[in-house]
Amino acid sequence: MSDAMLAIGTRKGLFLARSRDGGPFEIGPIQFSTVAVPSVAIDTRGTTPRLLAGIEYGHFGPSVMYSDDLGETWKEAEQPPIAFPEETGATLSRVWQLVPSPSEPDVVWAGAEPAALFRSEDRGVTYRLVEGLWGHPHRARWQPGGGGLCLHTIVNHPTDPEIMGIAVSAAGFYRTTDGGRSWEAANQNIRAPFMPEGQQYPEFGQCVHKVGMHPSRPERLFLQHHFGVYRSDDFGGSWHDIGSSLPSDFGFPIVVHPTRPDTVYVLPMTADIDRMPADHRYQVFRSDDAGRSWQSFGKGLPEGPVYATVLRDAMTASEAGVFFGTRDGEVHCSRDEGETWSLVGRHLPDVLTVRAAVL
């Protein structure tokens, strides 16, 4: 097996872990100490991997840093890499998501708060606002979720750059087929039980937590909602519930296996008002049939009781393995599809995001 890298963004810094020839991951020294790192990306598209980190500099505000030497040194654009045009009257408060485009070699997408999409054409150094989404007629009526009005998910079609989807908390899932010039809400059949009777399937106003896709089946999406787990087989045209057999359909992350498009992982929490692992145990549920049935896996994880949440971006699956990090600073890894788990690190700050790649 080739070398692998794990990037762990936390409330107080970034940690990079390396695995050589399939060996254990070893965590390096803290980077950006005391600085929140809510988004990271490992861009392996070029001859030299590029790391991207969305950071929060306190009084100096959010920014995006990049490294072309696997984190030995970091650079920043001379001007703020992500900023709202003055005429919008908006101020950037967080970079929630950084996603290299699978179909355009130098393009990187960024999701921000307040909810907005930005596009970079220089591999993540500088970005411009996607006006088509910012000007959508629904935007004035979007309401923030518990974490803010954040664009936290970007889903790119693997071969057609005109097709993509985004998720905003708490607006819902939106999609475009013209490269971002126009967008439509795509939340049909997703239930919002907190709404009045007769209004529980709104066009938008959905609290979507995360959306996943496998590149070999781009029409199929998996969605973790505030109240449900769903699948779409037409890129969000309609959704149906796949979470009824889970111990709880509330949770934050949902990730798809890197090579098996029917395999998807969730980590259920007890409920929206009791945000702790179901049965006070870390249990990763895996479906190998696109959500028709689920199995629980926890061998090697703490037997419990445990109480820490796993956030929406704190779980990932890649050819390097399946990983998740917790709000009490533990990071766990599985290299056998989730069957067994091992501890990568503990006593880290609050884990906000994890990303992994084979180098």
- Give the pLDDT score at 57: 86
- Give the pLDDT score at 122: 97
Q: What is the distance, to the nearest Å, from the Cα of residue 254 to the centroid of all Cα atoms in its chain?
A: 8
Look up tokens 């971002």; give the residue.
180
Please report the DSSP string for 67-132 in residue order. ESSTTSS-EE-SS-SS---GGG-----EEEEEEE-SSSTT-EEEEEETTEEEEESSSSSS-EE-HH
Which token pair is 75? 């650079």
- Give the pLDDT score at 304: 82
Nearest to 299 by CA among 336, 346, 262: 336
Q: Could you report the average pLDDT of every consecutive run of 10 residues in the chain (359 residues)?
A: 91 97 95 97 94 91 96 96 97 97 97 98 98 98 94 98 97 98 98 89 95 97 97 98 96 97 97 94 97 97 94 98 98 97 98 97
Statement: the pTM of the whole predicted model exceeds 0.95: yes
Name beta bridge partners: 26: 18
182-190 contacts, C-beta under 8 A, 24 or more apart = 182/132, 183/132, 183/133, 183/136, 185/138, 186/232, 186/235, 186/236, 186/237, 187/236, 187/239, 188/237, 188/238, 188/239, 189/230, 189/238, 189/239, 189/240, 190/223, 190/225, 190/228, 190/230, 190/239
Q: What tens digit of pLDDT does each residue of 294-307 get?
A: 999 999 999 889 99
Calculated CA dihedral for residues 249, 253, 254, 260, nearest 10 degrees: -140
Alpha-carbon span 169 to 209, nearest angstrom? 7
